[in-house]
Amino acid sequence: MKSIKLLGVLLTFFVFFGALSAQTLQEVVEARNSGTILMASGDIDGAIAEFERCIELAKQVGEDAEEHQFMVEAALPGLYLRKVQNIPRTDQQAMLQALITAVEVAEKYNDARTKESAERQIPQIYYALGAAAYSAQNTEEAFRLLDEAIARDPNIAGAYFIKGVIYETLRDEANMHENYMLAIEKGRAVNMLDNSQRAQSAQQRLRNFHYNAGIPALRAPQRWDDAIASFSKAIEADENYFEAWHGLAMAYNGARRWDEAIEASQKALEIREDPNIFWELGEAYKGKNDTARACENYRRVTSGPRLENARHEITVVLRCN
Predicted local distance difference test score (pLDDT) of residue 69: 84
Question: For 155-184, what is each residue's pLDDT tens digit?
Answer: 999 999 999 999 999 999 999 999 999 999
Is the pLDDT reported for residue 271 higher than 90? yes
Task: Map residue 280 onto helix, strand or coil.
Answer: helix
Contacts of 127 (CB under 8 A, 6+ apart): 145, 146, 149, 156, 158, 159
Looking up residue 257, the CATH number of its domain turns out to be: 1.25.40.10
Q: Measured at the alpha carbon of residue 153, what is the angle toward residues 134 and 95, in degrees to the nearest 5?
A: 65
CA dist 209 and 193 (Å) reads 24
**CATH number for the domain including 54?**
1.20.58
Residue 260 belongs to domain spanning: 241-321
- Average pLDDT of span 222-250: 97
Per-position DSSP letters for 113-145, written without gaps between them: HHHHHHHHHHHHHHHHHHHHHHHTT-HHHHHHH
DSSP letter (8 states) at residue 63: G
Q: pLDDT value at position 62?
A: 85
Average pLDDT over every residue of 213-237: 96
| Residue 254 confidence (pLDDT) above 90 | yes
Last residue of a domain, one of 86, 118, 142: 86
Phi, psi of 256, rounded to the nearest 5 degrees: 65, 30
Using pLDDT thresholds of 50, 70 and 90, give the confidence band for residue 193: low
Residue 321 has what pLDDT?
84
Total number of domains constituting the chain:
2
Q: What is the pLDDT of residue 118?
A: 94
Query: For 262, what's the count of Cα atoms within 13 Å in the CB-facing half-sphere?
Result: 12
The answer to whether the CB of 211 falls within 8 A of the CB of 243 is yes
Q: Choose the final residue of a domain: 86, 112, 146.
A: 86
Q: Which pLDDT does position 9 carry in this prediction? A: 37
Domain end, chosen from 51, 68, 86, is at: 86
191: confidence class by pLDDT, cuts 50, 70, 90: low
Mean pLDDT (the chain, rounded): 90
Indicate whether 129 belongs to any domain.
no
Between 34-38, 149-153, 253-257, 291-295, the lowest mean confidence (pLDDT) is in: 34-38
Is position 310 within any domain? Answer: yes
- Rounded to a whole number, what is the largest CA-CA distance in the chain? 139
User: What's the count of helices (H) and strands (E) in the chain, helices before strands?
Assistant: 15, 0
Q: pLDDT tens digits for 71-117?
A: 888 999 999 999 988 899 899 999 999 999 999 999 999 999 999 99
